[in-house]
A and B are shown apart, each in its own frame.
Chain A
Amino acid sequence: MTAGDTRQGAGGGGGAGGAADGGWIEQALREHEEVGRSEPSPAEPGGRRVLPVADRERQVLERIDRARRRRPRVREERVTMSHGAGGKATRTLVEAIFLDAFRNPLLEPLEDAAGLSLSGVRAALTTDSYVVSPLFFPGGDIGDLAVNGTVNDLAVAGATPLYLSAGFILEEGFPVADLIRVTSSMRDAAAAAGVQIVTGDTKVVQRGKADGCYINTAGVGLLSRDVSVGVALAQPGDAIIVSGPIGDHGITIMLARGELDIEADVESDTAPLNGLIASLLDAVPETRAMRDATRGGVATILNEIATAAEAGVLVREDDIPVRDEVRGACELLGIDPMYVACEGRMVVVVPGDSADRAIAALRGHPLGESAAVIGHVTDGQPGIVQLKTAFGGTRIVDLLVGDPLPRIC
């Protein structure tokens, strides 16, 4: 390597990096210019008005805020693992590709389930695919997940889950004994949740083309209650609740893979939430929103609330229930439990003065024993989730970028 032999980085100078790969940087810079132009900036080169530091920083923050509201676009030429991680890249992919292609009023809210009207009967429809690795882990297996996950997506939409479909993609060579184990779990989970698996599909692919067994389930539920829930309904002053300790499932999977040489006494929290939700809605029919905190964890749900409601969210780290084993593993691994997946926990938004009633209702159910108010919706900066840290400082909790742990569910 010599100092004299220098190329300009991609997109930086005259397309030296090649149009195909370097183009996005130029594009990003063009967008940056556009954001800059649309602001009434007294700091433009011509203006030369020197602003105090705090004002300049605030101006930058406002510019970022505008940049974040731009229409999402997938810049990558190929799908990467980040697109499946439940964070920013997933949201971009869903909004820029799927929503763009299929746009309709039922899909647009991007809730966990769509609310439909079938000849006057209100129903909810959802679907989810399961690719968890390993297939069997402490506290459950891919079968439990495939039933509970879909049941929960219906339940958090306020529906009573009734019927499920089950589609299997099996790899050549997959042990039949394992398949029986998985289907037994599905049967038991369906019985526990009070749903029936009424239709299905089977495909087998060559060895190496799938990792043992993937499952897709779709679910239909009845919207019989006179409730209306959705994260967009959250309002300043509302209380934000989690139904129990967070991060158990994600940490269990991470440790079950055995790549980290860490052992801890944790198991997946996979569970059907429809019973818990029924108790909640009986006591607090004015509940504004419920979301099960799966991929991307509680942090992602909080961001969804702040974005959809165009409000601020403030939570207190001290109030967020996390088991010591999970916290310990997270500390060792340098990850934040707020982003770790749960499979039997939900985030609930209720009007501030209904919080005590909601907590009492949740704690009255075995799955909600450790339910806690973790924060509030505020009239602060719209779309921003703030955390009061246990240390006493303040920080943002943003959507996750990248993929800390693929194939969690």
Chain B
Amino acid sequence: MRFVDEFRDADQARALAAKIAALCEPGRQYKLMEVCGGHTHTIYKHGLEDYLPESITLVHGPGCPVCVIPMGRVDDAMHLAARPEVIMTSFGDMMRVPGSHGSFFDAKASGTDIRMVYSPLDSLKIARQNPDRQVVFMAIGFETTAPSTAMTMLRAAAEGLTNFSVFCNHVTIVPAIKAILDSPDLRLDGFIGPGHVSTVIGCRPYEFIARDYAKPVVVAGFEPLDILQSIYMLMLQLSSGRSEVENQYSRVVPWNGNTVALRAISETMELRPYFEWRGLGFISHSALRVREKYAAMDAERLFSVPGVRVADPKACQCGEVLKGVLKPWECKVFGTACTPETPIGTCMVSPEGACAAYYNFGRVERHRVPEAVPAGASGSAGSAGSAGSAGNS
């Protein structure tokens, strides 16, 4: 199939693997973070780590929209959904996220009116069909999905719909990356930049990473060859001592982003002073809320929400996983108490969550391709798992 198969070509992958292996300095360990959960999913779904030498560890970052929603916000959403006049609408991957009283799916089974939608525009359709009900859209995601929420609000305003509102949980990626860079737990060598977010915000916002923290960033596409090529580009920078922002995904990502989308966001939303991220805690100016001008579409203003901070269950180590401090399998409840069927933490819920990706796809002995074994190295092929833990003592 065109535009897909070319980006999954095994011959090209082997050639890139050999070039990557050749760039590894003997004895040096490399930790590269893929910020975006979409990348984590691709890496495991296609078995990409088979192409990497043992000395390169991919660290999974915080860019999974569902994973970073704290439990308190899930409880707030449940509180809204439980109101008799409300129809709660949500993307499918939010449906199984556990709050302290179960998930949307559980609430739905108990009779709460929660409907799965593929697009926020579907919520508008439901609002038009149910003029006597209040339709609330559970808005989640980074800058990738914020424009579609914004456009939907603008459409609702233009239509004069009065029974549609948004429970806004949109977050922004740059403050999270900064929090990770400032975290003492982790030493990273470079970043595989989030491709989808960058289609909206462009590449400029990452320049501080290269300039102030001297770490290379390569904004990457979502096919396995995109990611492998980005790793190669990072390794080229590292081997020549450079730290720059590069755009591997130029077929989609404009350097300056999408100004139409950015305008729609800034028309309808503004930065919150602070927002809680699961695992990362409160990060200032890291999330969006609905602007005063659109208060009539802000579920938080229309209905009161408890707004109580709920700590994760003690056993859950999603925070460490989201920061890349722990590999999914290093969490003490991974795969035994916490599984995709009965997730305790969010990382096990979303297909983009590192734990779910590893559990569903990666729970297997790795078989490195011969090209990924640097000349002179021995005994690497066939070793278990994505070797190398990131900072776990």
Contacts and interface: CB of A to CB of B under 8 A. Distances in A.
Contact of B335 (A24, A63, A395): A63
A89 B341 contact: yes
B71 A92 contact: no
B47 A392 contact: yes
A390 B1 CA distance: 12
A203 interface: no
Interface in A149-198: none
B118 A259 contact: yes
A7 interface: yes
Interface stretch (A25-33, A111-119, A284-292, A366-374): A25-33
A393 B47 contact: yes
Contacts of A25: 313, 315, 337, 344
Interface in B68-110: 71-72, 92, 95-96, 98, 100-102, 105-106, 108-110
A53 B46 contact: no
Contacts of A55: 384
Contact of A389 (B47, B336, B341, B388): B47
Interface stretch (B177-185, B191-199, B235-243, B355-363): B355-363
B384 A58 contact: yes
Contact of A75 (B342, B362, B384): B342
Interface stretch (B6-14, B18-26, B205-213): B6-14
A229 to B, nearest CB: 29
Contacts of A97: none
Given A54-B385, A384-B364, A32 B337 contact: yes
A364 interface: no
Interface in A65-83: 67, 75-82
Contact of A393 (B50, B71, B105, B314): B50
Nearest to B356: A401
Contacts, number: 208
Which has the most chain B C-beta neighbours within 10 Å: A1, A53, A61, A388?
A1
Interface stretch (A132-140, A238-246, A267-275, A324-332): A324-332
Interface in B262-293: 276, 282
Nearest to A331: B4
A54 B383 contact: yes
Interface stretch (A14-22, A100-108, A211-219): A14-22
Interface string A35-69: 11000000000000000011111101101100100
Given A28-B344, A29-B337, A391 B384 contact: no
A199 interface: no
Contacts of A36: 336
A3 B307 CA distance: 10
Interface string B27-66: 0000000000000000011111111000000000000000
A21 B101 contact: yes
B334 interface: yes
B335 A1 contact: no
A58 B364 CA distance: 9
A28 B333 CA distance: 9
A258 B44 CA distance: 31
Given A53-B389, A75-B342, A67 B310 contact: no
B282 A3 contact: yes
A13 to B, nearest CB: 6
A391 B8 contact: yes
B276 to A, nearest CB: 7
Given A21-B102, A35-B336, A401-B341, A395 B385 contact: no
B100 A22 contact: yes
Contacts of B44: 395
A2 interface: yes
A13 B314 contact: yes
A393 B223 CA distance: 13
Given A1-B307, A1-B309, A63 B336 contact: yes
B374 interface: no
B341 A12 contact: no
B342 A24 contact: yes
B360 A396 contact: yes
A398 interface: yes
B320 interface: no
A21 B47 CA distance: 37
A9 B310 contact: yes
B369 interface: yes
A252 B172 CA distance: 37
B8 to A, nearest CB: 5
B100 A10 contact: yes
A76 B98 CA distance: 12
A327 B5 CA distance: 11
A284 B48 CA distance: 39
A54 B71 CA distance: 33
B101 A10 contact: yes
A4 to B, nearest CB: 8
Contacts of B312: 9, 12
B141 interface: no
A388 B8 CA distance: 13
B387 interface: yes
Contacts of A92: 341
Contacts of B384: 54-55, 57-58, 61
A402 interface: yes
Given A3-B309, A53-B385, A61-B363, A9 B106 contact: no
B387 A54 contact: yes
A2 B46 CA distance: 42
A28 B339 CA distance: 10
B14 A392 contact: yes
A202 interface: no
Which has the most chain A C-beta neighbours within 10 Å: B5, B330, B335?
B335
Contact of A67 (B48, B276, B332, B335): B335
A5 interface: yes
A92 B95 CA distance: 20
B255 interface: no
Given A8-B313, A77-B110, A81-B109, 9 more contacts: A6-B311, A10-B98, A21-B100, A21-B101, A67-B336, A81-B105, A82-B105, A390-B8, A402-B340
7 contacts: A3-B282, A7-B310, A9-B71, A25-B344, A28-B333, A88-B341, A388-B47
CB-CB nearest 9 A-B residue pairs: A393-B47, A12-B313, A64-B335, A392-B10, A32-B337, A57-B385, A28-B337, A10-B100, A1-B307
